[in-house]
Structure 1
Amino acid sequence: MTSATSSSSSTQTIELAPSYAIPLVLVLGSIPIVLLQIWVGLLIALFGLFLMIQAVTIRLQFTETALDVYRSQTLIRRFPYKDWSNWRIFWSSFPILFYFKEVNSIHFLPILFDPKQLKRCLEERCPQS
């Protein structure tokens, strides 16, 4: 497994760095909500903590032929680029959601990794037509 963080080519495996922005915004944003609606605030805080754990344990790796999803060191899913028909990152000013469509299914992932690095890898490996 090769890792690259700077100028990459499509033959290197690139592991995206984690981003804790969304979990932190949810946890910190839940504090004033708890004062108004305790159960709503607690649910938002729990969701933020869940996403924080996911950001710590889930890794995306762009290989030469596929996007691999790992939990710790275990490969849990492989998405070959040849099966992709479209992708999109929602809300470019504060990216929160990554969408991609395969031939037979669609996927939505919260942005728990470096959004700039994600976009760079997507444009390099899966250029949109």
Structure 2
Amino acid sequence: MTSVTSSSSANQTVELSPSYTIPLVLIGVSIPLLLVQPWVSLPLALFGLFLLFQTVAIRLQFTPTDLDVYRSNQLIRRFPYTEWTNWRIFWTPFPILFYFREVKSIHFLPIIFDPKTLKTCLEQYCPLDDSNL
């Protein structure tokens, strides 16, 4: 579920809903793995718990001009679309990673938010140029 915080479609801000799929899958896989490989299970479970915490705490908002990242209702980072050169969502059947490149940096984010709305917002606010494919 997405929430829209502005009524005008030209000035619409879209906040992505959290998706707990990846953290819960990692935690779920770590439980039976505990019986076979405890040293592998523990880091996997801890990473799953870390992502679960991030899923609860982090919010992405697509505004008409930038992608804003919030932690507990506090803006922690702003990524203006004008500085973006490319973006991708990796592994279409089960989206796990969101990549975007700015003029001066590259960013990778785990998909801890609704992947369908993410793709829709990316296509709307930051369409890919065919020359970047």
TM-score for the superposition, normalised by structure 2? 0.91
Distance 2:89 2:10 in 1: 20
1:1-129 matched pairs, under 5 angstroms = 3-4=3-4, 9-129=9-129
Distance 2:25 2:71 in 1: 23
Q: Where has structure 1 moved over 3 Å in runs of 4 or more?
A: none
Distance 1:96 1:115 in 2: 9
TM-score for the superposition, normalised by structure 1? 0.93
Deviations 1:64-118 (A, max 9, x none): 1000000011100000000000000000100000000000000000000000000
Q: Percent identity?
A: 70
Distance 1:26 1:52 in 2: 10
Distance 1:121 1:4 in 2: 12
Count of residues in correspondence between the two structures: 125
Q: CA deviation at 1:10?
A: 4.5
Distance 1:10 1:21 in 2: 31
Distance 2:76 2:93 in 1: 30
- Secondary structure class of the residue paired with 1:75: strand
Deviates more, 1:35-44 or 1:13-22: 35-44
Please list every run of 5 or more consecutive structure 1 residues that lacks an aligned counterpart in the other structure. none
RMSD of the TM alignment (CA)?
1.3
Please list every run of 5 or more consecutive structure 2 residues that lacks an aligned counterpart in the other structure. none
Q: CA deviation at 1:9?
A: 3.2
- Secondary structure class of the residue paired with 1:30: helix
